[in-house]
């Protein structure tokens, strides 16, 4: 092996590409199919067209080896479950009757059958559908999607590399199926699963695959010796197959750590490693294990999760070092480009100075191709590009946009007392109950109500100048009146204004804070057909004026019941944005928290007795390795308290979290010091209630009783049973009744019916408690 030969062979590639299309055509086709206005054939044709566009776009940017199998109609982990035949028993008949409808039923559920649980994909804001497995699970290879998409790409003349979720990660992401003992470990099914992967690999080789990528991001987390042994066994067995393509095992999001020597020694043909952020440690770790002699290394040196331009000279230096550690070094983003928008060139309204600093998926593929060329041909071949890149990096570092002396002075003056409530929770609880006068099992919603077509049209009309601000305000006020009236009629105890004026729970605030940049076309998939436009956090943060107070005042003036002030918390404002990478996250979080603190105190001054500051991203932003978590949780919980601790004792502070595994952050949830926390719990059958009880959580809790990511309406008895489970863990005086999450994606009829059933269930249990069960859990 020589450095020169490794450089000469260098090619650019990517792990995956955004699925939605430039105009979110995939979302429109799928939702049209669900409504019955698009046929199955038309949906599949639209999907095929989008794949073709992606491959064409990649090759035009210089990508020589395109991925296949990364495209999905809903979720790539769900695709993996279908590929290995892991269909839950309750969905098997539907899948056998109509595979497409059965696929969507697993994702969304039906009125009669619950969907798979959904949770965060590692520390991103993408959501995957959790495989359900048990001792009786029977796997069977279904290569139709993987082989079909490979053949599509090859027929168009592309050199294609199929991408599959690796067997170890698939099992480590799975959970015990309903009715299976909680202690069951899906990884024990590895020996049963590996022959299915062997069959998939053989089928892909027969279809013309030279390489297949197996994604193993679960191996960047802390893993037990048994799990590392499982990984070693998996790739020993798959590597020993004779009827297989070459195997590229990919990891991303962090360093491989203890798993690196396991994979380096495995009889596979290449590794794809992340070399950005904390994963930069992979460089020294790779050298320490002696590199990858005889193997291919796909080096992820372009950040696949953020939107800032690459430091090309720094990346070239990293790549030059790597050339001595493998037979062939290819260049790639750090992970799939699924996590960034499509094309920064579409953002024509962005300040031209800032536009020079941005790189979305299209620009990142160009950076990857440029780096590969520089490695192959030498830096002299890209001299002009390097000079332009240096100028853009210098422009960002020197820009007054990135530094506001007043903001920095205020953040520097923060003291520990600023992040503590003046009174402890027991005293606050007494004051709040006296002020609010709520019944046992108080009912509320999380915040948003359905964002109807009429609301979106009004927002588009305002942006296009077809209506003025006064007409838009009138339309939004009419919606608030309807939402408040419906909640009163349904019997809810604590109301919301429904957030009709908000385009997104982060973007809405970002558009009103200095330092943030909103995009017009920066859509990123969150789950299924749900896309968001994360704002770009480009500079120091401050609040020029109140953001929600007028809407709170209007809604509270319509009712005698308490209306919640609704804000998004500082950690979520960072996590669901493309955050600046030129200063510590803790510093940015402090700036956002101070801006929110001003809004919280203004809401209280306007009469808000309840203020909710949502932090659904607290768990998802948790570092993947345990050693990195204490520092993160310290600044994250402090930022929340800094935002919320300026209010009186009788003002009740709520927070909300959804679709994550909460067990790892129970101590942090306590340290938020929120008076009430609402959490996703319906799909997981109230698991979190037991976890909170086991952790001794002392405050009020609203575990969700309605899975709002499914179109089905929960019946009253179903809600009652969930609440009984909750009451077995949490005393009635500390239990709230609410949906899992906001209702933005739901329709009005199902919202009305579901909320009426939710209130009816709470009333039934209140009657039981009043009838003599108040001294013990109702179960």
Residue 29's CB: how many other CB atoms inside 10 A? 22
Using CA atoms, how far apart are residues 568 and 566, in angstroms rounded to an integer?
7
DSSP state of 65: B
Residue 775 and residue 777: Cα distance in Å, rounded?
A: 7
Active-site residues, by number, are 709
Closest to 569 measured CA to CA, from 526, 519, 619 = 619
402 within 8 A of 695, measured Cβ to Cβ: no
The Cβ of residue 293 has, within 10 Å, a number of other Cβ atoms equal to 10
Whole-number Å distance between alpha carbons of 527 and 446:
19
CB neighbour burial string for 370-406, b if at least 16 within 10 angstroms, e if fewer: bbbbbbeeeeeebeebbeebeebbeebeeeebbebee
Distance separating alpha carbons of residues 698 and 489, to the nearest angstrom: 32
Angstrom distance (rounded) from CA 309 to CA 406: 28
**How many CB atoms lie under 10 A from the CB of residue 558?**
17
Instruction: Give the DSSP per-residue string, 481-530.
Output: HHHHHHHHHHT-SSB--B-TT-S-TTHHHHTTSEEEE--SS--EEEETTE
Residue 314 and residue 327: Cα distance in Å, rounded?
22
Q: Which of 284, 287, 277, 229 is nearest to 253 (CA)?
A: 277
Tell me how far the alpha carbon of residue 39 is from its chain's centroid. 30
Q: What are phi and psi of 488, to 5 degrees?
A: -65, -45
Cβ atoms of 83 and 143 closer than 8 Å: yes
Tokens of 357: 């600093």
Beta strands 524-527; 530-532: pairing state? antiparallel
Residues in the chain: 779
Q: DSSP secondary structure string, 193-209?
A: HHHHHHHHHHHHHHTT-
The span from the CA of 298 to the CA of 213, in Å, is: 11
What separation in angstroms does the CA of 507 have from each of 47, 384, 588? 28, 36, 17
Check: CB of residue 118 under 8 Å from CB of residue 659.
yes
Tokens standing for 686?
Answer: 């109230």
**Structure tokens given for 36:** 């019955």
Tell me how far apart the alpha carbons of residues 532 and 505 are, in angstroms, rounded to a whole number. 10
Distance CA 150, CA 158 (A): 9
- 727 contacts 777 by C-beta, under 8 angstroms: yes
Query: Whose structure tokens read 């109509």?
Result: 98
Task: Tell me if 516 sits within 8 A of 577, measured CB to CB.
Answer: yes
């Amino acid at each position: 092996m020589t450095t020169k030969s490794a450089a000469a062979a260098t090619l650019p590639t990517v792990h995956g590409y955004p699925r939605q299309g430039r105009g979110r055509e995939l979302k429109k086709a799928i939702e049209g199919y669900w409504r019955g206005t698009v046929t199955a054939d038309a949906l599949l044709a639209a999907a095929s067209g989008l794949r073709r566009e992606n491959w064409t776009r990649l090759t035009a940017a210089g990508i020589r080896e395109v991925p296949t199998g990364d495209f999905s109609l809903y979720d790539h982990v769900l695709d993996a479950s279908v590929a290995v035949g892991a269909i839950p028993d309750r969905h098997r008949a539907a899948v056998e009757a109509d595979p497409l409808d059965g696929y969507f039923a697993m994702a969304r559920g039906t009125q009669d059958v619950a969907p798979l649980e959904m949770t965060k994909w590692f520390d991103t804001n993408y959501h995957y559908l959790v495989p359900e497995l048990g001792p009786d699970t029977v796997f069977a290879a279904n290569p139709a999607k993987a082989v079909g998409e490979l053949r599509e790409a090859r027929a168009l003349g592309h050199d294609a590399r199929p991408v599959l979720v690796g067997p170890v990660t698939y099992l480590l992401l799975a959970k015990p199926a309903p009715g299976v003992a909680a202690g069951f470990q899906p990884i024990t099914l590895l020996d049963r699963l590996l022959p299915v992967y062997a069959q998939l690999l053989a089928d892909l080789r027969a279809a013309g695959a030279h390489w297949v990528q197996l994604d193993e991001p679960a191996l960047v987390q802390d893993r037990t010796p048994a799990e590392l042994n499982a990984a070693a066994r998996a790739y020993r067995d798959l590597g020993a197959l004779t009827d297989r393509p070459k195997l590229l095992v990919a990891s991303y999001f962090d360093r491989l750590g203890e798993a690196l020597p396991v994979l380096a020694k495995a009889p596979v043909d290449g590794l794809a490693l992340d070399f950005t952020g904390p994963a930069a440690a992979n460089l020294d770790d790779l050298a320490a294990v002696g590199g990858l002699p005889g193997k291919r290394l796909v080096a992820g040196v372009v950040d696949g999760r953020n939107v800032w331009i690459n430091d090309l000279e720094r990346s070239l230096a990293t790549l030059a070092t790597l050339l001595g550690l493998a037979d062939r070094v290819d260049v790639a983003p750090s992970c799939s480009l699924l996590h960034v928008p499509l094309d920064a060139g579409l953002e024509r309204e962005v300040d031209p100075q800032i536009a020079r600093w941005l790189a979305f998926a299209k620009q990142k593929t160009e950076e990857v191709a440029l780096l590969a060329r520089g490695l192959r041909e030498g830096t002299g071949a890209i001299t002009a590009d390097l000079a332009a890149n240096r100028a853009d990096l210098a422009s960002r570092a020197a820009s007054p946009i990135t530094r506001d002396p007043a903001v920095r002075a205020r953040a520097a003056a923060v003291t520990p007392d600023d992040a503590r409530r003046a009174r402890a929770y027991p005293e606050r609880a007494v004051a709040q109950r006296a002020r609010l006068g709520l019944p046992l099992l108080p009912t509320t919603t999380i915040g948003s109500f359905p964002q109807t077509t009429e609301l979106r049209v009004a927002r588009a009309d305002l942006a296009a100048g077809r209506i003025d601000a006064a007409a838009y305000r009138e339309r939004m006020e009419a919606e608030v009146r309807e939402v408040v009236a419906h909640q009163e009629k349904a019997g809810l105890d604590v109301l919301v204004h429904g957030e009709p004026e908000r385009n997104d729970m982060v973007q809405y605030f970002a558009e009103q804070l200095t330092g943030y940049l909103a995009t017009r076309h920066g859509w990123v998939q969150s789950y299924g057909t749900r896309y968001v436009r994360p704002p770009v956090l480009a500079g120091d943060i401050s609040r020029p004026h109140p953001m929600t107070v007028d809407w709170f005042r209007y809604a509270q003036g319509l009712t005698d019941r308490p209306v919640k002030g609704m804000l998004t918390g500082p950690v979520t404002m960072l996590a669901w944005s493309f955050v600046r990478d030129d200063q510590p996250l803790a510093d940015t979080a402090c700036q956002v928290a101070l801006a929110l603190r001003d809004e919280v105190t203004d809401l209280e001054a306007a009469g808000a007795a309840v203020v909710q500051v949502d932090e659904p991203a607290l768990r998802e932003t948790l570092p993947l390795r345990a050693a990195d978590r204490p520092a993160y949780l310290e600044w994250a919980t402090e930022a929340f308290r800094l935002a919320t601790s300026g209010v009186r004792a009788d003002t009740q502070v709520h927070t909300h979290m959804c679709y994550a595994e909460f067990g790892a952050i129970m101590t942090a949830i306590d340290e938020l010091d929120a008076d009430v926390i609402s959490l996703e719990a319906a799909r997981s059958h109230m698991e979190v209630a037991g976890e909170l009880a086991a952790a001794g959580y002392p405050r009020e809790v609203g575990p969700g009783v309605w899975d709002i990511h499914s179109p089905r309406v929960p019946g009253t008895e179903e809600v009652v049973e969930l609440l009984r489970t909750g009451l077995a863990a949490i005393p009635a005086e500390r239990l709230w009744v609410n949906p899992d999450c906001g209702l933005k994606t739901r329709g009005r009829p199902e919202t009305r019916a579901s909320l009426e059933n939710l209130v009816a269930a709470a009333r039934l249990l209140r009657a039981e408690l009043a009838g003599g069960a108040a001294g013990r859990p109702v179960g």
